[in-house]
Amino acid sequence: MRTAHARQGDEINLPKGINRSRSLPDPKLGALWQSIIVEEKLKTQLLSQAVLNFTVRGKVPRTVLPLHGVILLVGPPGTGKTSLARGLAHRTAESFAEGGFRLLEVEPHILTSSAMGKTQRAVSELFSQSIAEAASGGPTIVLLDEIETLAVDRSKASFEANPVDVHRATDAVLVQLDSLAERYTQLLFVATSNFPEAVDTAFTSRCDLVLQIPLPDRNACAKILEDCLIGLARIYPAIGKITNSPQLVQCANECVGLDGRAIRKMVANALASSPATAMNPGAVTSADLLEAARATKANRALRTRKA
């Protein structure tokens, strides 16, 4: 069986549960980091915590600093948590001249199984074999997306609705985190969750940092819109003029309450405001953007009321 250190692009032979393995730093992931518009102090705090994991954990006893090498990003869907996690892996590796870093991405849904006992075994094997082997080969960052899938809050999960295997899978995650924290100081987990209230408190207590990624405020909405339009203007230069339109401020105001992904999709909706604009995206106007923003906001409010 190929290990998680299989060469980049050789993903067909990766162990079960590992969706992707890539060498770091990776400039494509650096572009992701730049594309997520959040307060700079949040990015600074996030990067500093990740770097600290690789500078301190191997030198300071855990009796002094009980670091587990786990960062948890929480917040609404679409706020860029996964992109930030990937970008963080690049920026962390970039901070160290010696290199040799690797990013593993875990696919939690592949591990879950309705067959009794299989989820627990799959989780244990993932951590104790695949991730451990990768960590033994050099500095390793592991992305655990949707961690609530693997670390279910056992205090809220009923045994009637959730098989005992799901509860045992959470136990396995916790046991393995403790074991790996002791054995591999050059290992960092970056987890994400849209539903932090569904994550077991024993998992969050092991996190060295829990960081809330909020919905963008008005200034952030304006920056996301500007970034999106500038990117489009590289292909359709006429779109560049919209960045100076007074209506862009109105559009940013309408976008408050939307996540970054929804804002960028809203711009795509504006490009599709008519067949003519879809054929010639450079013809889009600030009025098209404003109308698309209002429609997106109205649709979001309607879905929220129905939920």
What pLDDT, on a 0 to 100 scale, did the predictor assign at position 12? Answer: 52
Q: Is it true that the peptide bond before 25 is cis, omega within 30 degrees of 0?
A: yes
Q: Is 108 helix (H, G, I), strand (E, B) or coil?
A: helix
Greater confidence, 46 or 5?
46
Q: What is the mean pLDDT of residues 65-73?
A: 97
Alpha helices in 100-246 (DSSP H): 108-111, 118-125, 132-136, 164-183, 201-206, 218-233
Position 3 scores a pLDDT of 40
pLDDT at 307 over 70: no
Write b or e for each residue in 127-145: b if 16 or more Cβ atoms lie within 10 A of its Cβ, otherwise e. bbbbbbebbeeebbbbbbb
Q: What is the mean pLDDT of residues 203-223?
A: 97
On the question of pLDDT at 91 being above 60, the answer is: yes
Q: What was the pLDDT predicted at 122?
A: 85
Q: How many angstroms separate the Cα of 233 from the Cα of each of 256, 268, 272, 283?
A: 24, 13, 16, 11
DSSP string computed for 165-181: HHHHHHHHHHHHHHHHH
Query: What contacts 115, CB < 8 A, 6 or more positions away?
Result: 165
Calculate the average pLDDT of the chain: 89
- What is the per-residue pLDDT across 239-258, written as a single tens digit (0 to 9) for each? 999 999 999 999 999 999 99
Q: For the chain, list the domains and their CATH numbers.
A: 11-212 (3.40.50.300), 218-297 (no CATH)
Average pLDDT over residues 52-79: 96
E strand or H helix at 52, and its extent? helix 40-56
Does residue 291 have a pLDDT over 50? yes
pLDDT band at 68 (very low <50, low <70, confident <90, very high): very high
The pLDDT value given to residue 237: 97
pLDDT above 90 covers what percent of the chain? 75
Length of the chain: 307
pTM: 0.89
pLDDT (mean) for 132-137: 94
Share of the chain above pLDDT 70, in %: 90
> Given a cut of 60, is residue 115 above it in pLDDT?
no
Which pLDDT belongs to residue 158?
55
pLDDT digits (tens, 9 = 90+) for 153-200: 887 765 555 556 677 889 999 999 999 999 999 999 999 999 999 999
Per-residue pLDDT at 288 exceeds 60: yes
Most confident of 4-8, 55-59, 105-109: 55-59
What is the distance between the alpha carbons of residues 18 and 15, in angstroms, rounded to a whole number? 6
Mean pLDDT over 121-137 rounds to 91
When pLDDT is averaged across residues 266-273 and rounded to a whole number, the result is 97
| Rounded mean pLDDT, 22-41 | 96
Residue 54: which pLDDT band, with cuts at 50, 70 and 90?
Answer: very high
Instruction: Give me the residue label for tokens 């292909």.
Output: 235
**Is residue 273 within 8 Å of residue 266, measured between CB atoms?**
no
**Separation between Cα atoms, residue 90 and residue 202, nearest integer Å:** 28
Contact 208, 69 (CB under 8 A): yes
